[in-house]
Amino acid sequence: MKAVQFSVSIPQWLALKTLGHLNRKLFYEGPLATVKLLDIPEPRLPSDEWVRIRTRACGMCGSDVNLIFLKDSPSASPFTSFPCVLGHELTGEIVEAGQKVDGLESGDLVTIAPHLNCAARGIDPVCPACSAGHIGSCENFARGAIAPGMFTGICTDTSAGFAEYLVAHKSQVFRLPEGITPESGAVIEPLAVALQAVLDNRPVAGEHVLIIGGGVIGSLVVQAIRALGIECTITVSEPSMFHAALCRKFGADHVFCDGDILSRAEELTGAHRYKPMIGPDILMGGFGKIFDTVGSRQTLNASLRSLATGGVLSVVGIGHDITLDLTPLWLKLQTIKGVFSYGVTEIDGRRQHIFDLAIDLVHKGTVSLSEMVTHTFDLEQFPEMIETNLAKEKNQAVKTVVTFTPGAAP
């Protein structure tokens, strides 16, 4: 089958770190490329608890781009295995189900929650994180019956969405109701990320909320807040005028593109601004909740300085090697909360998987995902897809998706 496969060696990593800044195409074209379109064997079911899926659509995530360009922290390397097929935001059609799979059958259109936690790895009893419903923080991503990998897309044993076929454990699979297209279904996974971030740091009525970054996750955070019926004031900081307009359409009250977070916090929340002897200004007062989908040193430091006393900063963007001035943290009794993935949580008094909530909101039309998919590609156009993601504002791109023509089951 055709697949976009990722692999890297230490000599290759060193060569690309030296030469890649001269020509970034070296990362995805030519002999040093980390990703290549290859013919590889179709995956087999690891056990009777798995299904085989023919891919219909798969979105490109920012984490895919970071992996291709070797921007991820090496700290995550024990929880990956190479070579691996990329792509974890996907929909597909079940073509084979193991004997221990109930409620799913060939022909079902499904999406997957990609994390390969204890259940997928055949580990019993499950770890404390999985037991608590935090499946994205499983303690056993490098153990069990399959190769290391936090999720489908960085595990050598499962294939993934940028291939014609993949396999998934029954606990990962969610059937899509009629009316949700394969393209929209491929955005369920990032919607689940946004919903979990909002539920973990839920704004209250009348609160001033800031979202830093209005790309895929940032705009979905706006939609998630509005879909949950939270009557708060939403402000978005986003440099792209195209993406800023989309956030406003989805329900943001204020959008600015100049990046001056402190000035906007002062203006919109009535915070008082103070100038230290040296260094950037600091505010007393400010936003009650901040969702930083960028996660850079600049945005995180600006967040703490513009966050109100007792406020909570959700770090949604994945950064590393960050230097922070923690003065606002202790001075204003703030909380920094890590946000990663999704799981099972209490919603309206009952425990529910975030994917079920996400699918329900899309099916009801409370959240719009069709507008998020701006570009579609064939698998052979993978290099063009990468280039589109590297210049999203120029290309007016939000979510880019590889689509596959459905065919007869084997």
Domain membership of residue 308 (yes or no) is: yes
- 224-250 burial string, b = 16+ CB within 10 Å, else e? bbbbbebebbbbbbbebebbbebbbeb
Same domain, 179 and 209: no
Tell me what the mean pLDDT of segment 332-359 comes to: 91
Does residue 101 sit in the same domain as residue 158? yes
Query: What is the C-alpha separation between 183 and 380, in angstroms, rounded?
Result: 18
Residue 327, in any domain of the structure? yes
Residue 363 belongs to a domain: no
By percentage, how much of the chain surpasses pLDDT 70?
99
pLDDT at 341: 86
For helices 216-227 and 241-250, angle between their N-to-C axes, nearest 10 degrees: 10
* Cα–Cα dist 398/394, whole Å: 11
| Residues 217 and 399: beta-carbon distance below 8 Å | no
Query: Which region holds residue 349: left if phi is over 0, alpha if psi is between -120 and 50, else beta?
Result: left
The answer as to whether 201 is a domain residue is yes
pLDDT at 409: 41
Whether residue 327 sits in one domain with residue 289:
yes
- 273 occurs within a structural domain: yes
- Of 293, 317, 338, the residue that ends a domain is 338
C-alpha–C-alpha distance, residues 191 and 214, integer Å: 14
CA distance 283 to 210: 15
1 pLDDT higher than 60: yes
Q: CA–CA distance from 249 to each of 12, 188, 214, 372, 397 (Å)?
A: 44, 19, 12, 12, 16
Residue numbers of the domain that contains 235: 192-338
CATH number at residue 272: 3.40.50.720
76 and 42 assigned to the same domain: yes
- Helices 188-200 and 354-364 cross at an angle (nearest 10°) of 110
Q: At which of 298, 323, 338 does a domain end?
A: 338
Instruction: Domain count for the chain, please give it.
Output: 2
User: 18 and 95 in contact (C-beta within 8 Å)?
Assistant: no
Give the whole-angstrom CA distance, residue 225 versus residue 305. 23
Rounded mean pLDDT, 288-315: 96
Residues 264, 179 share a domain = no
Q: What is the pLDDT of residues 8-37, one digit of tens each?
A: 999 999 999 999 989 999 999 999 999 999
Asked whether residue 127 carries a pLDDT value surpassing 60, the answer given is yes
Statement to judge: residues 57 and 127 lie in one domain: yes
Q: Which two tokens stand for residue 341?
A: 């993935």
Give residue-wise pLDDT tens across range 33-65.
999 999 999 999 999 999 999 999 999 999 999
Residue-wise pLDDT for 222-259, tens only, equals 999 999 999 999 999 999 999 999 999 999 999 999 99
Of 338, 357, 387, the one marking the end of a domain is: 338
Same domain, 177 and 269: no
Q: Are residues 200 and 174 in the same domain?
A: no
Query: Is 133 found in the same domain as 14?
Result: yes
408 falls within a domain = no
Task: Kindly provide the residue ranges of all beta strands, DSSP E only, lying in 188-295, ordered along the sequence.
Answer: 208-212, 233-237, 254-256, 272-274, 282-284, 287-292
pLDDT one-digit tens code per residue, 356-400: 999 999 999 999 999 999 999 999 999 999 999 999 999 999 999
13 & 159 share domain: yes
Residue 349 domain flag: no
State the CB neighbour count (10 A cutoff) for residue 276.
10
Residue 73, domain CATH: 3.90.180.10
| Residue range 139-163, pLDDT digits in tens | 999 999 999 999 999 999 999 999 9
Please tell me whether residues 131 and 270 are part of one structural domain: no
Report how far residue 292's alpha carbon sits from residue 296's, in angstroms, rounded to the nearest whole number. 9
Please, what is the average pLDDT of the chain? 95
Confidence (pTM) = 0.94
Dihedral sign computed on CA atoms, order 22, 27, 33, 36 = negative
Distance CA 255, CA 239 (A): 10
pLDDT digits (tens, 9 = 90+) for 259-291: 999 999 999 999 999 999 998 999 999 999 999
Between 338 and 151, the higher pLDDT residue: 151
Q: Are residues 117 and 224 in the same domain?
A: no
Does residue 251 or residue 320 have the better pLDDT? Answer: 251
- The verdict on residue 398 lying in a domain is yes
Query: What is the phi/psi pair of residue 89, to 5°?
Result: -100, 95
